Amino acid sequence: MRFFAIIALGVLLMSGVESAEAQNAPKKTEWNGREAFLLTDGRTEAVIVPSLSSRLMTYRMVGGTNALWNAPSGTVFPPGEWANWGGEKVWPALQSAWPLFGPGWPPHPTYDGMPHRTEVVPGGILRTVGPVMEGFGVRATREFRLDPATGELVITTVLKKETGEPRQIAAWNVVQLPQPDVIYLPVNPDSPYKNGGYWFGGKTPKEAHPTEIGEDRLLVYRPTPTGGYKFGIDAPRSVAAGVKGDRAIILRSEKKDAPYPEGAEGSGFPLTVWNNGADSAPARYNEIEVMSPLTAMKQGETLTHVLRLRLLRLPNADPLSAASREAVAAALK
């Protein structure tokens, strides 16, 4: 009798798991008239649009505000101009190698602009498969899932070298946010760069440079409403937080002891930040760019890069308050 009771309990538990998976399975929906897929665990929700190169276009608490920047409604992209829809996407790095295989900018349509195939796989996972990327010869397969243990949205990108001669390749997750009040980044105490980061230049207002490093070893960067510029940081951990009011989005990846696409040898950048200032507030955004290490890839080889996103509610609407900063510091450990 005990044996049959154990079997019955196992069947019940398995049916509960299957029921939970079915409940959290990706569901078809629409995003601005395009076919999309919704993932939700009842607390957070994510919307992926396969026709826009499997962009993640929405990530928010249920009933809340989108943590990702989207192009203003009604935006029309002229022919030949990059269609910057916003959200999160993956590109091949090095960007400095793009001109070797075609126009350096805008991104080649096989990197950004062509539809991706989709399938729903067991475990509440949405899988997307893109075209072979021109010049690099790699194909991106992406899997999106909500982690029931942590509440994180997990985006796993596998780049497979399908064609052509060996290439130096890295996965480059580009995450666009409505301009945050503050971006927090951990600082390498032994960084060779002034203030723990390197400014690439561009149209950089003077007020962009006075960043602070606190006792918690976090770099405090306040985005500026004007100026297009970029900086990189040889962070000891590949984590960052974009904070707006009492809400934060936490980005996390694995920091590896390996060369990264940008930065000095031994002090490469797992994280870079781009500021897109504009006269119109809806057009302002920041990119937090999360890199994998640079890898020499031959045909048949693969590179896997995992990005984890989490939404966090802070104790108050002042992102610089001691309580909010303490909460962010704990999330970035």
Q: Got the DSSP string for 88-110?
A: EEEEEE-GGGHHHHS-SSSPPTT
Q: What is the pLDDT of residue 310?
A: 98
Regions of the chain where pLDDT drops below 70 = 1-23
pTM above 0.85, yes or no: yes
Q: What is the pLDDT of residue 94?
A: 87
pLDDT tens sequence across 206-232:
778 778 888 889 999 999 999 999 999
How would you label 281-298 residue by residue, b for 16+ Cβ within 10 Å and e otherwise? eeebbbbbbbbbbbbebe
Query: Nearest-5° angle of CA 190, CA 192, CA 195?
Result: 85
Q: What is the pLDDT of residue 164?
A: 96
Q: What is the pLDDT of residue 274?
A: 96
For residue 154, which amino acid is it? V
- DSSP assigned state of 292: P
Are 271 and 233 in contact by the 8 Å Cβ rule? The answer is yes
The reply to whether omega before 180 is within 30° of 0 (cis) is no
What is the rounded distance in angstroms from the CA atom of residue 250 to the CA atom of residue 241? 5
Q: What is the pLDDT of residue 209?
A: 75
Q: What is the pLDDT of residue 204?
A: 78
